[in-house]
Amino acid sequence: MTKVTKALITGITGQDGAYIAESLLSKGYQVFGMYRRRATDPFDNIDHIKNKINLVSGDLCDGHSIQEVVEETNPDEVYNLGAQSFVKVSFNQPHVTRDINFYGVDRLLHSLFRFNKKIRFYQASTSEMFGDVLETPQSEFTPFNPVSPYGEAKLAAHELVKEYRKRGMFCCGGILFNHESPRRGLQFVTRKITHSVAKIHLGLQDKLSLGNLNAERDWGHAIDYVEAMWLMLQQDTPDDYVIATGKKITVRDFVELAFKKIGREIEWVGEGLDEKGYSNGQVVVDVDEKFFRPNEVNLLLGDPSKAKKELGWEPRASLEDLVFSMVQNDLTLLEK
């Protein structure tokens, strides 16, 4: 009888956790998803597969729970996706961010190493570690220069992953650039835009207020990116990989694409805090400084050539398809 591969996913209730769970189930894995206790139901993203996965309770801030989860689930592969993942919040909650995003990884790796050194480990590293970028595009060779507590904690975790790799564990750091989907949290700029555009279309909201419209990101689709995580753990040797599309646009461009989906063109007037986006003579976008960050990452653009060469990975979804699917999903949700 062939052995079923067991995967443990932390961050199962998040965007990537839900997509990788679906993908691993389709590959015949037994899937364990770690979730933390919440006052309200956190299972929106995984309602449809809840009866196919094994949910285990644990918190990256609690070493006891992690040890128990590792022992109970006895995994072959671990995907550590749990994090305080919102960069802006990390500026006023730096301690909790570091506790989850760095010490959480420390706790988990320590437990795994003691329990079974053969477990393969994926760490959700991030392009935010490049911060105030020192070269463009950013590859595995680009020096890191984080500018947020989030980026700093993720970089410390990334270095720890390398340490455990030197100790013989199969650990990979996926340096993933921004990836989005209809399951993206509403705080992140892409989903905030698509949700607001859908509301404006349905007459439920007048305008959308944003922060830095000039920020440039390399946005891909989360479904493509979770496939890269899995591919990393199937290689003969562990390594770190940049996962990106190699294309960038501004927040302003993203806004235009989202409005295009509902058949509206945006005309931009003014600059800085006074910039406004008009459609049919009505202000539908403005700038509010409360959405600025104390320190900004202005540009992220990845070079995914190593992933293409070594993993055979390439992004499939186009940016237009991504934006349109997000707006369509929000329209459907709001029309219910």
If contact means CB under 5 to 8 A according to the sort of partner, which of ligand NAP, ligand GDD, none does residue 210 touch?
ligand GDD
Name the one range near ligand GDD by CB under 6 A: 34-42, 95-103, 183-191, 196-204. 183-191
Spatial separation of the C-alpha atoms in residues 44 and 38, rounded to whole Å: 13
Quickly count helices (H) and strands (E) in the chain: 11, 15
Minimum distance from CB of 215 to ligand NAP (Å)?
A: 14
Binding residue (CB under 6 A) for ligand GDD from 97, 178, 245, 329 = 178
Minimum distance from CB of 114 to ligand GDD (Å)?
A: 29
Spatial separation of the C-alpha atoms in residues 297 and 212, rounded to whole Å: 10
Tell me if 194 sits within 8 A of 323, measured CB to CB. yes
If contact means CB under 5 to 8 A according to the sort of partner, which of ligand GDD, ligand NAP, none does residue 211 touch?
ligand GDD
Catalytic residue among 128, 152, 216, 256: 128
Tell me if 128 sits within 8 A of 158, measured CB to CB. no
Q: DSSP for 64-118?
A: HHHHHHHHHH--SEEEE--S---HHHHHH-HHHHHIIIIIHHHHHHHHHHHH-TT
- Judged by beta carbon, residue 80 or residue 126, the one nearer ligand GDD is 126
If contact means CB under 5 to 8 A according to the sort of partner, which of ligand GDD, ligand NAP, none does residue 300 touch?
ligand GDD
Consecutive H or E run containing 162: helix 149-166
241 classed as catalytic: no
103 classed as catalytic: no
Binding residue (CB under 6 A) for ligand GDD from 94, 116, 192, 199 = 192
Q: Binders of ligand GDD among 234-263, rule CB under 6 A?
A: 251
Asked, as a colleague might, if the bond just before 238 is cis with ω within 30 of 0, I would say no
- For residue 138, the cross-strand partners are 302
If contact means CB under 5 to 8 A according to the sort of partner, which of ligand NAP, ligand GDD, none does residue 296 touch?
ligand GDD
DSSP state of 302: B
If contact means CB under 5 to 8 A according to the sort of partner, which of ligand NAP, ligand GDD, none does residue 189 touch?
ligand GDD
Collect all residues with Cβ–Cβ distance below 8 Å to 230 and sequence separation of at least 6. Answer: 20, 23, 24, 27
Phi/psi at 18 (5° precision):
-65, -45
Catalytic residue among 10, 97, 126, 190: 126
Q: Is 128 in the site for ligand GDD (CB under 6 A)?
A: yes
Consecutive H or E run containing 256: helix 251-261
Q: Is 300 in the site for ligand GDD (CB under 6 A)?
A: yes
Minimum distance from CB of 297 to ligand GDD (Å)?
A: 6
- Catalog residues that contact ligand NAP under the rule CB under 6 A: 10-17, 36, 38, 42, 59-61, 81-85, 100, 124, 126, 176, 178-179, 185
Minimum distance from CB of 60 to ligand GDD (Å)?
A: 15
- Judged by beta carbon, residue 86 or residue 167, the one nearer ligand GDD is 86
Spatial separation of the C-alpha atoms in residues 124 and 82, rounded to whole Å: 8
- From residue 139, alpha-carbon distances to 19, 126, 171, 260 in Å are 25, 12, 19, 32
Catalytic residue among 29, 79, 122, 150: 150
Binding residue (CB under 6 A) for ligand GDD from 112, 155, 161, 210 = 210
| CB-nearest residue to ligand NAP | 14
29 classed as catalytic: no
269-303 per-residue burial string, b: 16 or more CB within 10 A, e: under 16: eeeeeebebebeeeebbebeeeeeeeebbebbbbb
Q: Which spans of this chain sit near ligand GDD (rule: CB under 6 A)?
A: 85, 87, 126-128, 177-178, 187-190, 192, 210-212, 215, 217, 251, 291, 293, 296-297, 300
Tell me the catalytic residues. Answer: 126, 128, 150
